[in-house]
Amino acid sequence: MLPKGGLKHATEGISYLFAQGRGKAASSVLRYYGFFHELFDTLSERSGIFSIGYSADPSRADITEAQAELPRQTAKGLPRPGKWLDVGCGMGGPACLLASENPDVEITGINITPHHVEEANRRAKEQGLADRVSFRLGDALAMPLPDSSLDGLYAIETAFHYNGKARFIQEAMRILKPGGAFAVADIAWGGSGEGLTERIRMAPIRWTMASPELFTENQWCENLAAAGFTQIACEDISRETFGLLGRWKERAVAHLPELRQKYPEALLRMMIAGFEYYAGRPEKIPVRYILVRARKDPGAARRLPGALSIDTRAAPDIHKKTVLANTNIRRPLYGIFNRRHNP
Ligand SMILES: C[S@@+](CC[C@H](N)C(=O)[O-])C[C@H]1O[C@@H](n2cnc3c(N)ncnc32)[C@H](O)[C@@H]1O
């Protein structure tokens, strides 16, 4: 005997999975947030932050605090005072948090999901921030903003949805002022990303997470360098982010009664089992979580895209790992630079 509403939930779940195999990237993102909105909103306890979180001590972290910490870590190097752009701003939680903690910044958020934009504007108004924080519809691949108009740009756990990250990076280069800062916190593919076996391994993530294109760390660095960015630094923060999966499992279990009203039991069980499995075996997680930072050279207009850029002073807070990026650096060399280093 199925639980009450079980057949309806199961049918919705199955039709979601079938639909995700078709159509354009943007429509699969809309379907993804249409289907999972309540799940994410419930699990994040309506904080308006839809990302995994960050903690130096993830096994003991409080999820709400960790979710607030990821935007702080991401925006650490952005110029203050300044005008910032939050790309894929979600429900506005990160921008409102950062604006309330940094009274000298103005933040514009863009997003392709209309109800996220509405909810984000409602949040900014409710928190008395609407004079410095606003949100509008806009695609990361064609940003509705003038050239050289922003001091900083950040994108938290959204770029894994973009089908054309090279285009996103070029857009970032266009809208940043010379000297402007770029920061992305995102899921990156952990393997080489090349060949049939890799594609097969990637397929479940690409299909279920509306993630048509997953970059490796190297691809982030190469594309930033090719677009003309300098001071490129990439930090692997998988421990501080995926290390929270055990805490997410506890939170999901605590919210099971509400979630059962809206989602198929099998999906909830699978999610909890997944949190538990990967919390105990982080080495099996096929993706990495990375924080990528770069600068638009103050003399950007005069630089040739892809020119050599090596500067270890780029991001002083990134002490764990610094990637020196140049389009000509070959992969084995990257391997040496990319090795995680704990001082
Ligand atoms: C996991 S949520 C993260 C939201 C927010 N950055 C946060 O940390 O709470 C990803 C967001 O990216 C948005 N998104 C996906 N593709 C996008 C695109 N091409 N342009 C702008 N926003 C996009 C989605 O609508 C969603 O709101």
Per-residue pLDDT of the chain (343 residues; tens, 9 = 90+): 445 555 655 566 555 555 555 555 568 899 999 999 999 999 999 999 999 999 999 999 999 999 999 999 999 999 999 999 999 999 999 999 999 999 999 999 999 999 999 999 999 999 999 999 999 999 999 999 999 999 999 999 999 999 999 999 999 999 999 999 999 999 999 987 778 888 888 888 877 788 888 999 999 999 999 999 999 999 999 999 999 999 999 999 999 999 999 999 999 999 999 999 999 999 999 999 999 999 999 887 644 444 333 333 333 333 334 333 333 333 333 333 333 322 2
SS3 156: strand
Establish if 11 belongs to a structural domain. Answer: no
69 part of the active site: no
Question: What does the alpha-carbon distance between residue 72 and residue 55 come to, in Å, rounded to a whole number?
Answer: 11
Q: Which residue has the tokens 């593919």?
A: 189
pLDDT value at position 243? 97
* Domain interval for residue 119: 79-237+287-338
Establish if 275 belongs to a structural domain. Answer: no
Looking from the CA of residue 140, the nearest atom of ligand 1 is 20
Residue 138 structure tokens: 């806009």
Q: What's the predicted TM-score (pTM) here? A: 0.84
- Among 157, 171, 235, 240, the active-site one is 157
Establish if 247 belongs to a structural domain. Answer: no
Handedness of CA 94, 81, 112, 22 (dihedral sign): negative
Establish if 306 belongs to a structural domain. Answer: yes
pLDDT value at position 202? 82
295 neighbors 180 (Cβ within 8 angstroms): yes
Per-residue HEC secondary structure of 79-133 comes to CCCEEEEEECCCCCHHHHHHHHHCCCEEEEEEECCHHHHHHHHHHHHHCCCCCCE
Handedness of CA 308, 311, 317, 318 (dihedral sign): positive
> pLDDT tens-digit profile of 14-61?
555 555 555 555 688 999 999 999 999 999 999 999 999 999 999 999
Looking from the CA of residue 155, the nearest atom of ligand 1 is 6
> What are the strands, taking DSSP E only, across the chain?
82-87, 105-111, 133-137, 150-156, 176-189, 229-236, 287-296
Measured in angstroms, how far is the CA atom of residue 312 from the centroid of ligand 1?
30
Q: Which residue from 216, 342, 222 is spatially nearest to 289, judged by alpha carbons?
A: 216
Establish if 24 belongs to a structural domain. Answer: no
SS3 209: coil
Question: What does the alpha-carbon distance between residue 12 and residue 272 come to, in Å, rounded to a whole number?
Answer: 19
263 neighbors 39 (Cβ within 8 angstroms): yes
Measured in angstroms, how far is the CA atom of residue 88 from the centroid of ligand 1?
3
189 neighbors 214 (Cβ within 8 angstroms): yes
Whether a cis peptide bond, with omega within 30° of 0, leads into 343 is no
268 neighbors 293 (Cβ within 8 angstroms): no
Measured in angstroms, how far is the CA atom of residue 302 from the centroid of ligand 1?
33
Q: Which string of b and e fits 226-264 if b means at least 16 CB within 10 Å?
A: bbbbbbbbbbbbbbbbbbbbbbbbebbeeeeeebbebbb
SS3 163: coil
187 neighbors 288 (Cβ within 8 angstroms): yes
Q: Is residue 162 within 6 Å of ligand 1 at its C-beta? A: yes
CATH code at position 322: 3.40.50.150
Establish if 298 belongs to a structural domain. Answer: yes
Q: Is residue 55 within 6 Å of ligand 1 at its C-beta? A: no
Q: Which phi and psi (to 5°) does residue 44 adopt?
A: -90, 10
In DSSP terms, 188 is beta-bridged to: 288
SS3 36: helix
Q: Which residue has the tokens 């996103």?
A: 168
- For residues 173, 175, 178, 179, the Cα torsion angle rounded to the nearest 10 degrees is -80
Structural domain tally of the chain?
A: 1
